[in-house]
Chain A
């Protein structure tokens, strides 16, 4: 790996490279940029240009709280996914081929069911009368049911369950690309396992950490079903607010402004991170 000078994959021709990006570009223009511009327009026009939706938004602390909730939930999910996913990805990258494919299947199984089904399943399992509480009470560990639903705990259980694979796969991809000889050399040069991990493996896995965190965070910010069903009043997210504005109040312009604010905040966070770490880290070009 280190021996390859330059990372560019040689291509037999060089002219007209731009054409390669055209199909994807057209697709994005049609299904993403155009609708996005329409949403931006809704948030800024109601019988002529207006900033009233944004003014409304700034006047009402409820929306700030929802934004805060959204970010809190997303950061927490990202952190939990990293905490659970890193050792798992490490195991997958370093174990035998057979154990690896078994783990891979286990990580992928949740994908076979829809988010909605999984979320309702959690409601059944975590409810006051659910499996977990009944077991806890049967074991005498608790007298009354523990509150596992309609709070941050419930939201995180549901979200981490859904998001974990999105953390594990980028991590695994980067980790399995790390030359095992590099780790051997580190040991022979005098690094005990922990120091070899800290000084060599961990830094080399950073691109995977960055990619996994960005992916999970972005997905978490847009989550609607899980926080709405498993969360309580403290977990009302911007996505829930947007849904309410549209379905309950038919206030498309205001819903659009909420969407734009969320987009800008997330974009700002991402920009801050990439300047902090260097954009290379986030795209894996460490």
Chain B
């Protein structure tokens, strides 16, 4: 495709690789693995597909890469439809969780593979391979075989190999899933650095929500083959559009009840919560993140409750607070002052800013 490419990692380059998924679907005999997805990635954007196991993340990625033919819909790369193109003609880099390095090739040969397949002259290949290995901080290991490398090093080789041919788009399916926690955090950081340095568009898959929240420009939360909410980490956390999103991302108190004129949101058991809007009507669910509550002495304004249990977690304490009608709420309070802390069995009042509560239709 593109034969003249700038040496990798040299300087920031023009952003490109806008992607559009249009009504993309993959149906098997009696079951839709992906059930009509619409998603647009701006050039240079980092978008994560997040979702529970079996929600269709890998299938989506496989269709974009060209390994699985879509049943319906279209895939546009830089405005051109690539749905009919073979994988080798899409100019898309792919990184898998199990690295998928070529075990019979050295690190250099692995990284040089896409360039050899593009019939580039060997001097160019040597230069670009060296550049890519520098970029992922693997200088000096070019002669090793993949099995002589640690997991993290193998993953870096996979990154270098997927980046060296200057792809329009990088697809990653749980690339850090096989690494231990420390290494994973370090590699997340590295990946963000690579993304910032190269400006390549990334479509990333993970089922680790923390990873999704910290790394992505935007997150597409998937469930049952559909995107249930698309937005920034803040959108998904602060403004979940459904019970599923509220419960999947972080912790939530999901309270059933209804809006009543002048009384706010009245939970099924009778407890009253301040509500962000006064109009009685449709919403039947209220979502409150545990840290939005604060604790106040009993008798002061707030929702009366009793501490039913607590866990001290260092910088904050998690309380379980029972309110009227047997409703049990999770409350997270920063341990800023010892005086703020409540004891087990103590009566408290829960304060909540109505702007921090979110109303949903069930």
Indicate if B178 sits at the interface (CB-CB under 8 A): yes
Q: Is there contact, CB below 8 Å, between A187 and B165?
A: no
* Bitwise interface map of B from 104 to 137 toward A, beta carbon under 8 Å scored 1, else 0: 1000000001100110000000000000000000
Q: Chain A residues with Cβ under 8 A from B114's Cβ?
A: 189-190
Which stretch in A65-73, A113-121, A196-204 binds the other chain? A196-204
Which bucket holds chain A's interface residue count? 20 to 34
Task: Give chain A nearest CB distance to B101 CB in angstroms.
Answer: 5
* Bitwise interface map of A from 1 to 19 toward B, beta carbon under 8 Å scored 1, else 0: 1111100000000000000
CB-CB contacts below 8 Å: B133-163 with A: 146-147, 150-151, 154, 161-162
Task: Give chain B nearest CB distance to A18 CB in angstroms.
Answer: 28
Task: Give chain A nearest CB distance to B118 CB in angstroms.
Answer: 6
Q: Is there contact, CB below 8 Å, between B104 and A203?
A: yes
Indicate if B96 sits at the interface (CB-CB under 8 A): yes
Among B94, B104, B154, contact of A185 (Cβ-Cβ < 8 Å): B94
Indicate if B220 sits at the interface (CB-CB under 8 A): no
Considering only CB atoms and an 8 Å cut-off, how many residues of chain B contact the other chain? 31
Indicate if A181 sits at the interface (CB-CB under 8 A): yes
Task: Give chain B nearest CB distance to A281 CB in angstroms.
Answer: 11
Q: Chain A residues with Cβ under 8 A from B66's Cβ?
A: 187-188
Residue of A nearest to B118 (CB): A190
Among B93, B118, B146, contact of A2 (Cβ-Cβ < 8 Å): B146
Q: Is there contact, CB below 8 Å, between A2 and B86?
A: no
Q: Chain A residues with Cβ under 8 A from B151's Cβ?
A: 3
Indicate if B346 sits at the interface (CB-CB under 8 A): no
Q: Chain A residues with Cβ under 8 A from B67's Cβ?
A: 184, 187-188
Indicate if A286 sits at the interface (CB-CB under 8 A): yes
Among A5, A184, A196, contact of B150 (Cβ-Cβ < 8 Å): A5
Indicate if B69 sits at the interface (CB-CB under 8 A): no
Indicate if A179 sits at the interface (CB-CB under 8 A): yes
A134 CA to B92 CA, complexed, in Å: 58
Indicate if A265 sits at the interface (CB-CB under 8 A): no
Among A5, A182, A184, A188, contact of B102 (Cβ-Cβ < 8 Å): A182
CB-CB contacts below 8 Å: B70-96 with A: 86-88, 90, 92-94, 96
Indicate if B202 sits at the interface (CB-CB under 8 A): no
Q: Is there contact, CB below 8 Å, between B100 and A190?
A: no
A76 CA to B57 CA, complexed, in Å: 50
Task: Give chain A nearest CB distance to B124 CB in angstroms.
Answer: 14
Residue of B nearest to A184 (CB): B67
A188 CA to B114 CA, complexed, in Å: 9
Indicate if A186 sits at the interface (CB-CB under 8 A): yes
Indicate if B188 sits at the interface (CB-CB under 8 A): no
Indicate if B99 sits at the interface (CB-CB under 8 A): yes
List 10 additional contacts besides A2-B100, A3-B98, A190-B165; criterion CB under 8 Å: A1-B103, A3-B99, A181-B98, A182-B101, A182-B103, A185-B100, A185-B161, A189-B93, A195-B117, A200-B102
Chain B residues at the A interface, C-beta cutoff of 8 Å? 65-67, 86-88, 90, 92-94, 96, 98-104, 113-114, 117-118, 146-147, 150-151, 154, 161-162, 165, 178
Would you list the 3 A-B pairs with minimal beta carbon distance, nearest first? A190-B117, A189-B114, A187-B87
